[in-house]
Amino acid sequence: MAVEAVNEVRLVGRLSGEPVVRVLPSGDELTVWRLVVDREADKSGPRSPGVDTIDCVAHRPNVQRIAARWSAGDTLEVQGALRRRFWRGAGGTASRCEVEVSVAKKARA
């Protein structure tokens, strides 16, 4: 029996700062932001971080329009897929994982 591959991410957290629009060399625009997600209480000790900070990116114009209305500290719910992005820097090839967001909204209290 074959197992279907799944790459789905759902996060609820606080927006760390204003979303930023970046223009790629191709002329395409994308919007990037960081989401701070609280961790559940962990028994591994007091040195464990209490949050995860996760990079998010939106290529879809409808998500970009929604993100333009957010402010730092807003609580958001995003859905998308985990992507690993590569680029060449002064020190050679580098990479980073980020969530490519397909659905986003302010979370209700």
Per-residue pLDDT of the chain in tens (109 residues, 90 and over written 9) = 789 999 999 999 999 999 999 998 899 999 999 999 998 776 666 666 789 999 999 999 999 999 999 999 999 999 999 999 888 888 899 899 999 999 999 997 6
Reported in sequence order, the residue ranges of 1-109 that DSSP labels E, i.e. its strands, are 9-15, 20-23, 29-38, 51-58, 75-89, 92-106
CA distance 43 to 31: 36
8 Å CB contact between 98 and 57:
yes
User: For 9-40+47-106, CATH number?
Assistant: 2.40.50.140
47 token code pair: 């040195």
CA distance linking residue 73 with residue 61, whole number of Å: 22
Q: What is the pLDDT, as a whole number, of residue 47?
A: 63
